[in-house]
Structure 1
């Protein structure tokens, strides 16, 4: 990788969509790396394995049901790249994909990924190794690798795909991230994220009442957010563990009211003489 971008090999054919590309890098080892990092820092990974093919398909829906123009996509928490590879495959010339991954081991895997390197021509792919809250567009001081370009400086994003494990975070952090997503999305832009099923009970049984209460507070916050901005959801049973993907849309400003039609003031009547 050079200048903060993953470059396509000019002699490589465009990749074909397949479950193998989704589930793991052709070079192999994604599951082992993910498990290793999950055991080391489960708070930041939130799972023991990458997302399965059906969940990936649900998360990339906004990038496939798209306007007929170039779009800008932000992926947050890319992990080993199962969603990143699918996005790179479905994006078109002129599209931009900005990937944010805080884990340097995962970021190194993304840099070396042959599917990402073999993406279609004209698809820009940029990698920032930081937390999404640290992006300059979020008011922080981090920079994108290589050129020092400001992530998001080209404008807001049409699509955001979030892989962050929200229920591992404190409610205030989740609220701040969701509000940041709304600021980063263009009006009418779409956001997808997912959560695993049955985690509230598991968290309470395994971590105690305090963590259970924190978990429930995050879930309530997410449900309020979905009630306000949600377009729909999809339950994916064929995932480990089963998950639910959520699709949301940022608000579109109401059109300004039309200026009132000027009315002609009648001329005053001539006085009687």
Structure 2
């Protein structure tokens, strides 16, 4: 695993590009065709889905927050995050695909962010982060000072994974969130039917098992969901909250982002 602190460059030193350039689309499509199991889509998320995913950051407390983005891809959500974050906030981006990591490191929008926003990039799976590895013998107390996050935005294609890995990641998200911290992730509509029609019985059964697991997780922690029809393909974004109070959090939208129904 490599951990990379993205340096800030003055905004005037580099031009901003659109949230989704033609190069992003081509790179995403190439990686989807090469490694669809880990990419999970043929195109990056559209603007409305991005807005739904960043809700925990646009409705936020009045103090600096720490955000984890998992599965950043070409950075369409990452760029929105650095736009709505404030000086003093921290953003930790985790991406396992080395080609996507290279794109993120070279992204001019991320480089031109406000100098008060800390941005860190880890080239690994979220399960491989140092704070997520077993660091103590079985039966001993876990590390007390492991990093925690006020919000997690996940772009992982859960229905492409085995149920055991999905459960591991979801449990990890809960452990990484601060009490009352919020999580967003999404899934495409119609995947169960499509998988049944195009895959064998074993893959279809695995897919249904993951969907059941996600619904159980949403029943335990869910705040609501939003269906985004204007996305390719249409998707549903889910908003969840970890156990714990959030009395000091004030609803203070920073503008422009659509809310997820609660």
Q: Shorter-chain TM-score category?
A: 0.7 to 0.9
1:218 alignment counterpart: 210
Q: TM-score, normalised by structure 2?
A: 0.86
Name the CA shift for 1:14/1:74 in 2 (closer, same or farther; >3 Å): farther
2:57 alignment counterpart: 63
CA distance in 2: counterparts of 1:200 and 1:136, whole angstroms: 34
Q: Deviations over 1:144-174 (max 9, x none)?
A: xxxxxxxxx6730000000000000000100
Name the CA shift for 1:119/1:140 in 2 (closer, same or farther; >3 Å): farther
**Cα pair 1:15 1:120 within 8 Å, conserved:** no
**Cα pair 1:186 1:250 within 8 Å, conserved:** yes
**Cα pair 2:131 2:146 within 8 Å, conserved:** no
CA distance in 1: counterparts of 2:46 and 2:96, whole angstroms: 21
Alignment of 1:203 onto 2:200: no
Q: TM-score, normalised by structure 1?
A: 0.82
Alignment of 1:21 onto 2:13: no
Where does structure 2 lack aligned partners over 5 or more consecutive residues? Answer: 136-144, 246-262
Name the CA shift for 1:213/1:194 in 2 (closer, same or farther; >3 Å): same
Q: 1:87-236 alignment to 2 at 5 Å?
A: 87-139=81-133, 155-236=147-228
SS at match of 1:93: coil
1:264 alignment counterpart: none
Moved over 4 A (4+): 13-16
Count of aligned pairs: 237
CA distance in 1: counterparts of 2:172 and 2:15, whole angstroms: 33
Q: CA deviation at 1:6?
A: 1.4
Q: CA deviation at 1:140?
A: 5.5
SS at match of 1:12: helix
Q: CA deviation at 1:21?
A: 3.3
2:5 alignment counterpart: 5
1:267 alignment counterpart: none
**Cα pair 2:131 2:147 within 8 Å, conserved:** no
1:269 alignment counterpart: none
Q: CA deviation at 1:10?
A: 2.5
Larger radius of gyration: 1
CA distance in 2: counterparts of 1:136 and 1:15, whole angstroms: 35
**Cα pair 2:73 2:100 within 8 Å, conserved:** yes
**Cα pair 1:15 1:89 within 8 Å, conserved:** no
SS at match of 2:204: helix
Where does structure 1 lack aligned partners over 5 or more consecutive residues? Answer: 142-152, 254-273
Q: Which has the higher contact order (CA 8 A, sep 6+)?
A: 2
SS at match of 1:21: coil
**Cα pair 1:157 1:184 within 8 Å, conserved:** yes
Q: CA deviation at 1:204?
A: 1.2
